[in-house]
Amino acid sequence: MAHALIDTGDSRSFPDAGALAQGATEEGEVVIVIGAEVKRGLARVKDQERKTAILLELGTECLGVYTGEARGSEGSNVLGFARFRLGDAEPTRLVELVKQPRTDPAALAAAKKLFEDAGLTVAVCNDFPGRIVDRLILGVGTHHGKAPLLDAAMRVGLLEEVAKPIAEHTGAKISIVTFDDLAVNAARRNHAGLIVRGLRDATDFDYEMQMGRHERRDEP
């Protein structure tokens, strides 16, 4: 399916638009708008309702900024996207494709095919305004009876190195703390209302379910 490209400059997802520019035509059925002035680029798209799909590069804003909100009934041939990247590192091959509750299935399929044909991996997600949390605390647990490969100071240093560009780019508040007691106690000390824990396998899941029940009893 032919596509058109509108580049408004300073794209974070495609700083080099060469791959997208290949095969682009002025009257493509799919229109891709990239760069820092997406709203201005969208205004240049003629006969928008006749396009199979219109793809808008997103920053930290939600797709509803451009399409409007309609109490969960919004959706059209317009989708959002962003390639995952850490700070100023090169964009990865992962593309987050943002749809709305009533996004046209044909538009979604065309968008996925275009990116996958370009050698990218597509993850489809729903459009949500804002963040899940306004403050993120990364907890590094320590235990006197364990001797991990990396000590607590080194783990904190590595997390700070990774978290800093993310915080600078998103404006999120990210802090790193160490604790040597229960995670729920560390959460309480840091006034956290939500705990996110990682799972490696089914054994971890069973263990975390037990811990979760105990923690809800101690800190409902």
Give the range of the structural domain holding residue 55, as residue numbers without chain letter: 3-126
Q: How confident is the model at residue 195 (pLDDT cuts 50, 70, 90)?
A: confident
Contact 30, 52 (CB under 8 A): yes
On whether both 99 and 182 belong to a single domain, the answer is: no
Phi, psi (deg, nearest 5) at residue 33: -115, 120
pLDDT at residue 14, as a whole number: 93
What is the per-residue pLDDT across 124-150, written as a single tens digit (0 to 9) for each? Answer: 988 865 556 668 999 999 988 888 889
Task: From 108, 126, 144, give the residue that closes a domain.
Answer: 126
Q: What is the domain-level CATH number for residue 185?
A: 3.40.50.620
Q: What is the domain-level CATH number for residue 99?
A: 3.40.50.720
pLDDT at residue 220, as a whole number: 61
The two tokens of residue 196 are: 């996110």
Cα angle, residue 13 at apex, residues 54 and 34 outer, rounded to 5°: 40
Contact 87, 166 (CB under 8 A): yes
Task: From 80, 97, 126, give the residue that closes a domain.
Answer: 126
On whether both 61 and 152 belong to a single domain, the answer is: no
On whether both 104 and 150 belong to a single domain, the answer is: no
Task: From 104, 126, 148, give the residue that closes a domain.
Answer: 126
On whether both 64 and 120 belong to a single domain, the answer is: yes
On whether both 25 and 111 belong to a single domain, the answer is: yes
What is the per-residue pLDDT across 8-52, written as a single tens digit (0 to 9) for each? Answer: 999 999 998 887 888 888 889 999 999 999 999 999 999 999 999
Q: What are the distances in angstroms from CA 96 to CA 121, 126, 178, 185?
A: 9, 10, 32, 35
pLDDT at residue 175, as a whole number: 93
What is the per-residue pLDDT across 142-189, written as a single tens digit (0 to 9) for each? Answer: 988 888 889 999 999 999 999 988 888 767 789 999 999 988 889 889
Tell me how many domains the chain contains: 2
Tokens 């992962």 correspond to what residue?
Answer: 94
How far apart CA 168 and CA 165 sit, in angstroms, is: 5
pTM of the full structure = 0.61
Let me know if 62 is exposed, middle or buried by CB neighbors in 10 A (0-12, 13-18, 19+). middle
